[in-house]
Amino acid sequence: MIVNSDNQSISHVLPELGIRETNPSFITGQESGESPGGQLLDVFSPIDGQKIASVKMIEETEYNQVVEKAQKAFDFWRKKPAPYRGEIVRQIGVALRKYKDSLGKLVTYEMGKIYQEGLGEVQEMIDICDFAVGLSRQLYGLSMHSERPNHRMYEQYHPLGIVGVISAFNFPVAVWSWNAMIAAVCGDVVIWKPSEKTPLTAIACQNIIKDVLKENDLPEGIFNLVIGDAKIGAAISSDKRIPLVSATGSTRMGKKVGETVAARMGKSLLELGGNNAIIVTENANIEMAIRAAVFGAVGTAGQRCTSTRRLIVHENVFDQVKKRLLDIYPSLSIGNPLEEGTLVGPLIDKDAVNSFTAGIKKAKEEGGEVLIGGEILEGPGYESGTYVKPSIVIAESNFEIVQEETFAPILYLIKYKGGIANAVEIQNNVRQGLSSSIFSDNIQETEYFLSHLGSDCGIANVNIGTSGAEIGGAFGGEKETGGGRESGSDAWKVYMRRQTNTINFGTELPLAQGIKFEI
């Protein structure tokens, strides 16, 4: 519930997305009036430090109302044919196209990524809608041959129920849509808890979807929104009425969610930390590698789970790579991400800035050499205190700080000697396993990287960077990244329950494995 908005910088965008000073509550499904709500959550823009709005957070009694509403909606929604559910998702995609510019601008203003990335995030939502529409006619099971005569055996998938989605600030709408649109065509309903740092984009999405549901005489409880702190996330994780919890965020948070959900025998889909590397061999196209590394390291101000954090470079081309990076970094345009030409926006808040500076300090203490950057920017345009100069640090792979994920634009430049096996060993020697890349024009190196001996990450790319995944492929990683898979390929299966069916169309009752049981 928006109760007041003080900032005029994007005042024309907020009403267009249904965000007004007095807004009907879509938290509890009331048609009019104010939500009783809990304490106020002030929402600030990292761009200028100004308050955008205040939001009333949900209370426990309201949370239970949401779950009950979702249960009722699930009983209705699961009975609809999957292609019909796909048609509703198609209409959501059409609506998102209509509001792409405004929603992209709100993503930028609330989160801080440059406007082109804000538009790209909304495009991801549109793309996943398109993918889900096709998927609604392809929820395939398998048919298998039975060992018993006159028997047919097959498997099918059924809707799972309520899917709880806990999303992070860095992709405030896209990652939710990966879950929500796939879950919807599978026959599930969704309860979404966005990050407390970016609730307004979630409210805007809910308003857009609410109109589509209303036009089709569908219950609002198919898509639900709960705004709250960590207590609400814990409530979702421990709620036996929610069979699947999809959580995106830090490894520390994911471990808590995974343990809580597992304790009640629920299912969890975890998309957690990344400590992603690009390997640059002596056979690489250096200019391509540099372009990929720079975008991967400073895009979204280093706040992507797929951001490039380690650049592992062969000793024969190390100096060349270092020189090109030092040529480019001083020219990076840092500033207001809504302005054309800006390449690096702010970090999300001052806590993130503190992590950035602490990471650089730790690297220096361990013997790292800061080549460039690391400063907090001050002066006109930087009053929010959330702008920093992206940094490059020459480091060793065994530094403690290199083993961690610092959610900020720090690129560790690491030299390797010998063959591709040595580079892969360095890459894999971290606790996380999300995204990885190699730049090489040598097929023996690239094929080794992609083999079972190579990258241990969920995503392994050749001659492209670590970030910028398309929705058609399953997204996720191994080790402390959590093992989850979202978006494309057969990731839809986690949102459904699998059932194996055997039909006897004969007149005898043979047992499997040739067991004899005569009565």
- pLDDT per residue as tens digits for the range 29-73: 333 334 455 788 999 999 999 999 899 999 888 999 999 999 999
Residue 144 makes CB contacts below 8 A (sequence gap 6+) with 153, 154, 155
Q: What is the DSSP string of 33-78?
A: S-----SEEEEE-TTT--EEEEEEPP-HHHHHHHHHHHHHHHHHHT
How far apart CA 387 and CA 46 sit, in angstroms, is 9
- Residue-averaged pLDDT of the chain: 94
Q: How confident is residue 24, by pLDDT bands cut at 50, 70 and 90?
A: very low
Stretch 344-359: mean pLDDT, rounded?
98
pLDDT at residue 160 greater than cutoff 70: yes
Tokens of 193: 């808890």
pTM of this structure = 0.94
* Residue 36: predicted pLDDT: 53
Q: Return the higher-pLDDT residue of 53 and 421.
A: 421
* Residue 4: predicted pLDDT: 59
- pLDDT per residue as tens digits for the range 354-401: 999 999 999 999 999 999 999 999 999 999 999 999 999 999 999 999
* Residue 34: predicted pLDDT: 43
pLDDT at residue 26 greater than cutoff 50: no
Ramachandran quadrant class, 463 (left: phi over 0; alpha: psi -120 to 50; beta: rest)? left
Neighbours of 262 (CB within 10 A): 12
* Residue 469: predicted pLDDT: 86
* Residue 27: predicted pLDDT: 35
- pLDDT per residue as tens digits for the range 183-221: 999 999 999 999 999 999 999 999 999 999 999 999 999
Q: How confident is residue 519, by pLDDT bands cut at 50, 70 and 90?
A: confident
pLDDT at residue 445 greater than cutoff 60: yes
Determine contact, residues 71/165, Cβ cutoff 8 Å.
no
* Residue 22: predicted pLDDT: 46
414 HSE (CA, 13 A, CB side): 27
Looking at the chain, the whole-number percentage of residues with pLDDT higher than 70 is 95
How would you classify the pairing of strands 2-4 and 40-44?
Answer: unpaired
Phi, psi of 164 (to 5 degrees): -90, 130
**Residue numbers annotated as active site:** 271, 305
pLDDT at residue 290 greater than cutoff 60: yes
Domains observed in the chain? 78-272+485-498 (3.40.605.10), 276-470 (3.40.309.10)
Determine contact, residues 390/344, Cβ cutoff 8 Å.
yes
Residue 61 makes CB contacts below 8 A (sequence gap 6+) with none
C-alpha of 74 from chain center: 25
* Residue 19: predicted pLDDT: 82
* Residue 18: predicted pLDDT: 85
- pLDDT per residue as tens digits for the range 74-97: 999 999 999 999 999 999 999 999
Which of 11-15, 93-97, 434-438 shows the lowest mean pLDDT across its residues? Answer: 11-15
Phi, psi of 361 (to 5 degrees): -60, -45
CA distances from 296 to 388, 438, 439, 465, 468 (A): 16, 13, 14, 6, 8
* Residue 373: predicted pLDDT: 98
How would you classify the pairing of strands 189-193 and 223-225?
Answer: parallel
